[in-house]
Chains A and B, each alone.
Chain A
Amino acid sequence: MRLLRAELLKLWTVRTPRVLLAIAALVAVIAAATQIGIIEYRDGDPTLSAGQVAGLLAGAAAAIPLATFIGAVGSTSGIRHRTEYLDHLITPTRWQQVGARVGAYLLGGLLFAGVLLAALLVVILTWALIRVGNVPWSSTTTRILLGVALATSAYTAIGLAVGAIFRNQILAVGLLGGWIFAIEAFFVIPLALIDLRLTSLMPVQAIQALLIDDALNDLVDEPGFAISYGVWPTVGIIAVWTIGLSAIGIWRTLSSDIE
């Protein structure tokens, strides 16, 4: 428990996670506000559907990938600034250090999700109450809330794992940014040409699908249209990527010299 608290303190006492969190909250709020603007412009109808509220919450998807950089920066800063040896001096058993770090970053990911959702809900609820006097809610809305929490934790854990695997901060951050915003697209395009659902086998697409699947299905009124194999298979795909990369990251950490 002491190690977990110390890892959380490490996370909170440097600026990078807080700056990333602020940027993510801003991006999510701007994404939601843009959607609200589009709804207001296109729809003179004063009603508001539960699907629209769910769609607004799914706007958090634009900001969630930033969580991965918190993990990557966190797992490489000990090597970059040569603070890793202090962890070892406190607890020479490395698996305890690794366990505390993974736990702290999963909690950090949930906190990240909580702040994002809180910022979004303030905007969405305020607008909904002003527009229609109530907030239409459905099981999809609840699922998206849980999806944001799961996706953020997965992104944080993947960032932590990639940082642990490559052990170089610039390389890890560059690789994650490149993968999320460009490289995965090279794999997704040929998969999409075969079957759109195959794209959800890729990590970023799976996480996005978890959040925007329903919203897209509502938008594309076409029988048989689907961007994933359904909620639980998609959760399974995310779990395989997250656990697989984490296992490699943990093995790499346990087998590397202490800096």
Chain B
Amino acid sequence: MSEVLRTDSFFNESLVGLFGPAQIVKSHEASAGKSFLPRVHVVPYGTTEIPKKAPVIESNTADRYTAHGDILLLDGKGNGRVILSQTANSNTVLVTEQCDNLCKFCSQPPKTRDDSILFAFAAQALIAFNSQDFVGITGGEPLLNRALFLQFLDTLKRADCHTPLHLLTNGRAFHDLSFVKEFKDALHNRDLICGIPLYGTNSAIHDDLVGEPGAWSETIDGLINAGNHGLPIEIRVIPTKRNVEQLSSIVKLALESISSISSISIMNLEQEGWAKRHWDELYIPPYQYVKMLEQTLKLQHRYKIPIRLFNYPLCHLPQHLRQYACKSISDWKAIYEEECLSCSLKSDCGGFFVSQKHKWTNPTMRII
């Protein structure tokens, strides 16, 4: 029996008892079966030549949304989720659920159990997938266990995996100069961009939002150190009621002080995890800060560094700002409301997070 839970998730009896990363095999591929990971065959419904030995998912949907070589993560109970997909517009692997910040809007609240095995899973997945495009590394805080992260980079290098990485970190670990040097050495010229959030021009606002006194000053040190060592940095800012007044100042502060910034991302608040709990305290609809967005976006012409908007459905932005919005929500995570279906801009629009369904989808500024 197999069941498609969502376009990226499957249940299959034959997967029961399998853990960790596995690689998808499409039977019609000539090179099928070269992976060192356990293999899972995905075939369209009604295929007659089903391989006998390996687990098989027989499903048209699964077949349509997966490609040969995609990586599944299996939970031992028969569930598998695609974590690295050749057809997705971005891929991300989770390396830990532990974190030293407790952000009010954390989409994935941290846990404290020892989960170091996730690093090993991530390394195996990346090596088997062997992408030439950027893959996101996320947590938790991936640099919380610094030794483990350096080891992770070393493992990838020794396995000859050159996948460029986008590391989502709070940057606090980089306040330690010697770690920055070790980190730089461990990269061995691998392309790596650090996505580092900065939520305030001072500690009062930032530390309150990330729930950790002292976090701002460590992040500032980290940004300066990482930038000075030539690590490309993407600065991320989430406008909330608390910090929206200083949005452009945050971006300006970063651009004038931090070296090696490659881009700035303004991210719309996601109704995920703890953000749901703090929604009324934090969320401010974009139409209430259009002027501030304009002022912030203008800075890209001054500093010649791109500033982009993420997770903003186009109908939540006035027309002249839509050009800066990126279609960031992965295809299979995006949903469109019924009235979106007839919208003329649907193909350019990121839509809404799947998980936000029935909560905050409300296409306030209908384009249609």
Tell me whether A and B are bound partners.
Answer: no
Q: List chain B positions with a Cβ less than 8 A from chain A.
A: none
